[in-house]
Amino acid sequence: MKINKLEPQKALNPAYKKFKPFRADIDDFSVKLQDCINAINLVDSRNESEEHLKSPISKFLSSTFYSENEINTKERIDLAIYLGKDATSDVGVLIEAKKPSNRAEFPTEKQLNKKAFQEMLLYYLRERVDYKNNNIKHLIITNGFEWFFFNASDFYNLFYKNSELIKEYKAFRDGLKDTIKNELFYNEIAKKYIEQVEDTLPFVYLDFRNKEVSKFKDKELVNIYKLFSDVHLLGKSFGNDSNQLNKVFYNELLHIIGLEEVKESGKKIIQRKKNKEADYGPLIENAIFTLEDKDYLIKVKNIPNSEEKSFTVGLELCLTWVNRILFLKLLESQLRSYNNDSPEYKFLNSEFIPGFDALNEMFFSALAKPIKERHQRYAEKFKYIPYLNSSLFEKSELEDLTFDITALMDEEMEVYSSTVLKNSNGKKQTGKLNTLEYLFKFLDAYDFSADASVEINDKQQNKTLINASVLGLIFEKINGYKDGSFYTPGTITMFMCRETLRKSVVQKFKEEITETIETFEDVIDYCNTFFKKEDRKKFNEVVNSIRICDPAVGSGHFLVSALNEMIVIKSELGILGDEEGTKLPCTIEIDNDEIYISDADGDLFSYNRKDPQSLKIQKAIFHEKETLIENCLFGVDINPNSVNICRLRLWIELLKNAYYTDEGELQTLPNIDINIKCGNSLINKFALNDSLKSAFKSKEITFSVEDYKQAVKDYKTTKSKAKKREIEDIISTIKNNLKSSLDNKEKEKFSKALGEYQNEEQRQNNLIAFGETIKKAEKDKLKKLKLKAEQAKKQKEEILNNIIYRNAFEWRFEFPEVLDNDGNFIGFDVIIGNPPYIQLQKMGEASDVLQKLGYETFARTGDIYSLFYELGYKVLREKGLLTFITSNKWMRAAYGESLRKFFIDKTNPEILIDFGGTQIFDTATVDTNILMFSRDKNKQQTLACIVKEKELKNLSDYFRQNAENISFLSSESWVILSEIEQSIKAKIETVGVPLSSWDIKIYRGILTGYNDAFIIDGKKKDELIAEDPKSAEIIRPILRGRDIKKYNYNFEDLWLINVHNGIKEKGVNPINIEDFMAVKKHLDKFLPILEKRLDKGCTPYNLRNCAYMEDFFRHKIVWKRIGSILRFSFDKSGSLALDSTCFAVGNHIKYLVGILNSKFGKYLMKEAPKTGTGDLLISVQAIEPLLIPIPNSQDLKKIEDLIDIILNDNSVSTDNYEFQINQIIYSQIGLTKEEIDFIESQ
């Protein structure tokens, strides 16, 4: 029969396959594995029971990878590896053990459907269904010699998702079959369903019978080691995680540059390092000294003069140089791995580059010039240094204005106190080093290559791997030094790109190939039915036509993730081919934000320049990346440093697959910089529907749209610097003429308005000259024309001259790739990213300009990311997709109402993921969400779910398993509900009435402005009354938030001096303090503070106006306004309540006390607003919308009687009475048992 047996390496996560364990760890594992096998042999020879088998297996596991995990039985499960140190944690691995001699019940490679497997299925279903454990990672069946490994995700898909199996299992579990014996489940249920999937269920099989572990080859042993590891079986992290900042590397790199990270206003920012004495060694100090000493700053006009100008310019220069050096380090590592670690390719060191002059020579005399064109002075020295054809090694505009790296002085600097460097004795390096030498040694302490061809690390030390993703994270943080930039973790960018791009591919195939395509699986099946090269070419062209843009590109992380996903999509579609169109013999996966290429055996691909097959793969991947970067990836950012870093990231991605040509030279890089542009995405002078036809036909523009497109295409592919500059001039001329042409429209608009006004004015003046009377209607017309001309003039001057438009980004023509042949703007297929989070009210003049631009989603109290949603929509093509991760405040906040309305009216929201309180960004306490919408008619079906932190690692799987279809139909708050929550919500909405519509009033407590003066204890109260008995008239008991308990309260003998300000509408006069001299004498001690407070009445002695003062004396509900626990108390004493509380008065107050304290009440308030610390904010606004059923007279009396019992006897347990109250409420709403259980579980 057909089986789906995997080789061990095929089951491993690709990033882990690349990991190189130490030789010592492998040797130790081998010994312990052999000890386990020997012990099993002994158990088998003595024919001992299964119980004796568990001991050596448990010992082997705990002594290798699981010393920190509980390994024990669980009920009938033979062995379980728990996720934590004890059995209170979830089970991560289920193990079913059988005696080696029990062949009848033990599976074989050809037949899995034996009793051991059937038992395993039963235990899995108990754990997954009954215990709701969704943290199972793997399942193992073993007899000690033979081991079957199964991935729990396969059990989920093949068994747990089989509704018929689950139905039968529950019937068996609940005793609805004719016997409760397990044999029925094994023979009549499990056997049947296993048989259905036996040939598709993937598994790994190991057989240690008659084998000596010491004789295994390294490759085989490493795969077995990794298969048993906690990284594989429990999904633990290892080595370098691209989602995590390498803080050791980061902090020392900052030190060398001359920066430090500090916390300010709750976020981490980067600033110039403060030194006790002058230190010109750090790069930025060296640069700033040169800028100021040689007066270079005068030449830099585009950065405003300020105290920070030196730092801003110095940092940009330093980042340019550091970017180049880090790129060279990656290049050096790549070349060394391609050339057997030959010393000729180790060039980033002080021996080869002794100073800044030599480094500059490498930049511009070697890397920037083809080998044959290099000056003979450098030809020999740099013969192993390739030509890269990258603008990274062309002088930047700022270097042209100021200076290049040769202007820096060779200084020494202090070594970082926590340096990674070691001296000759193996101890931490101290003292001073030359800055450039220090930087080279620092970089050399890390591994930038991770050669996949090496199986085991035979060295004593493992250099920490620094990959491109980790560098990207570091670039992002340094670049966002002012704002505390948020780097989006790889788990998020991978998920967003996967979900969005696969949908986009489906849409493209549906439009261009066949309308029958509905899902990505359909696309795979369709492509697999074709096998000719021309078909693959056609399908590639479809994928290559997808245009993806990040309008706030930052370090380019989203574009890199999109590039990786596009490569994997092509691999899965089977259309990835070499230059001849032959399908590549490899599979490609993404893991940990990197792509991994594996051969047919599951081994990782490693480029070997001497192997033709290897060259074919390497070359194909390089040119696939090149094609996708040139045609599909676009980005915009307001920060020029971000633009440069994004370009660098994309070059690094190409560098990973650089190959040697037939001439023995490294393949040059394309000019991809033109796709990443600098500008303010949100501001543009020209509308997207402005016609370019007249512009391209004008005398100034001698080029057509096709010429413009071709010029951009030629720019990307040319290898000649002269040709590149020639094309740059053509592109610049076209864009400048387009701007002039469109600017002329504004001038013409003004001229027309002015002409209309002047003509009418002249006409009326002529009539007056001939003695005619001007009618009122004519005068009004002239006024309107004058106003229109003035407005047109103001608009023209603002657009043409306002400084805010200096960085305007003209989407209308900046990317000719999204224009049709007539110059019409078509739009992008995908907009994706993490736009900035800035409160609009903090943006000053820029906010006013954004408001004038007419953004529908603009709200003064809102955030700039709202405008990016709208901007993204505008630049999307019809049916295009936008996916952003942003703050989730728009879902519920008042300022988000216009954005919610925009989504409902203009878009089709397809995916919504709320991360709630899970912090996605390590340096920012911001609650986030992911939203995907298409520019399409709203189908009112949004797949939505809430995700907690532990689910982030397998976000795609979790989303598919847990997303619910929700219809968001209004601009009211958007709340994500499961199917059962939606059912409960519908029932509550049927019978519930918002409290705002009840015959009650809800208020906030009294605000004194200075509690120390107005709140006194009982002793002070007695003193004041003894001194002046009249004081008793204005001293009232007061309750604080902390005094409120469930149903009752603790009165702490605190009193409020109620010097109220009267109620004018009711003829109640303010308290005259002169009538209460003892109280006045007490308050006089605080008079300077009372005079300054904002919350005061007509005199400093009076409290602020409180129109509802009389309501405090009625029966009321009082609750704490902010807290982690909900408590509502009933008060009939007439006590006042401080502003840390709210209270309600009116009809049915006792009934409402029962409801609000119930499980149902707690459930209603679970979506209440929260403070930054996670406490509930139960304000008046949070309480008023609560939907509570109005009771019939019978239910009202029952609940009020139960509340009376609770209130009258504090010693009695309330559990029974609360149970009765809950049952009454559930009955009113008509909830099912399942719905009741759900509410009570919350």
Burial of 59 (0-12, 13-18, 19+ CB in 10 A): middle
Task: Say how far apart CA 947 and CA 635 lie, in whole Å.
Answer: 29
Mean per-residue pLDDT, 699-705: 72
E strand map for 947-1063: 964-966, 992-994, 1000-1004, 1015-1017, 1035-1039, 1054-1057
Least confident range of 385-389, 477-481, 806-810: 477-481
- For residue 587, the cross-strand partners are 598
Backbone angles phi, psi at 638, to 5 degrees: -75, -20
- For residue 447, the cross-strand partners are 465
Give pLDDT tens digits for 522-548. Answer: 999 999 998 889 999 999 999 999 999
Cα distance from N-terminal residue to C-terminal residue, the chain: 48
- With a CB cutoff of 8 Å and minimum separation 6, the contacts of 349 are 440, 444
Task: Say how far apart CA 596 and CA 15 lie, in whole Å.
Answer: 7
Task: Say how far apart CA 39 and CA 43 lie, in whole Å.
Answer: 6
- With a CB cutoff of 8 Å and minimum separation 6, the contacts of 340 are none
Q: Do 834 and 931 meet the contact criterion of CB atoms below 8 Å apart?
A: no
Place of tokens 């199972």: 136
Listing DSSP states for 593-615 in one string gives TEEEEE-TTSPBP---TT-HHHH
Q: Do 620 and 576 meet the contact criterion of CB atoms below 8 Å apart?
A: yes
Burial of 497 (0-12, 13-18, 19+ CB in 10 A): buried
Check pLDDT > 60 for residue 1218: yes
pTM score, two decimals? 0.82
CB burial of 1029-1053 (b: ≥16 within 10 Å; e: otherwise) equals eebeebbbbbbbbebbebbebeeee
List for the chain the helix, strand, coil content (%; round to 5): 50, 15, 35
What is the biggest distance separating any 2 CA atoms in the chain, rounded to whole angstroms?
A: 131
Locate 611 and state its tokens: 């192997």
Check pLDDT > 50 for residue 484: no
Neighbouring CB atoms inside 10 A of 76's CB total 11
Place of tokens 């594995």: 33
Give pLDDT tens digits for 250-293. Answer: 899 999 999 988 877 666 778 888 876 778 899 999 999 999 99
Which residue type is seen at 182? N
Query: Which residue, among 328, 232, 244, has the nearest Cα to 6 in the 3D structure?
Result: 232
Q: To the nearest whole percent, how much of the chain has pLDDT over 90?
A: 57
CA distances from 109 to 140, 141, 195 (A): 14, 12, 14
Q: To the nearest whole percent, how much of the chain has pLDDT over 70?
A: 94
Burial of 111 (0-12, 13-18, 19+ CB in 10 A): exposed
CA distances from 901 to 875, 887, 896, 1169 (A): 19, 17, 9, 21
- Of 248-252, 565-569, 961-965, 1231-1235, the range with the highest mean pLDDT is 565-569
Mean per-residue pLDDT, 1203-1231: 90
Neighbouring CB atoms inside 10 A of 701's CB total 20
Place of tokens 């300077």: 1088
Give pLDDT tens digits for 1088-1104. Answer: 999 888 878 889 999 98
- Check residue 460 and give its pLDDT: 59
Mean per-residue pLDDT, 972-977: 86
Give pLDDT tens digits for 330-381. Answer: 999 989 989 988 999 999 999 999 999 999 999 999 998 988 889 999 989 9
Return mean pLDDT, the chain. 89
| Structural domain boundaries in the chain | 5-233, 247-479, 490-678, 723-804, 835-976, 977-999+1147-1242, 1007-1145
The residue count for the chain: 1242
Angle at 594 between CA 592 and CA 596, to 5 degrees: 110
- Check residue 353 and give its pLDDT: 95
Least confident range of 10-19, 361-370, 919-928, 937-946: 919-928
Give pLDDT tens digits for 899-936. Answer: 999 999 999 999 999 987 778 876 556 889 999 999 99
Pick the CATH number of 835-976 from 3.40.50.300, 3.40.50.80, 3.40.190.10, 3.40.50.150: 3.40.50.150
Neighbouring CB atoms inside 10 A of 1188's CB total 23
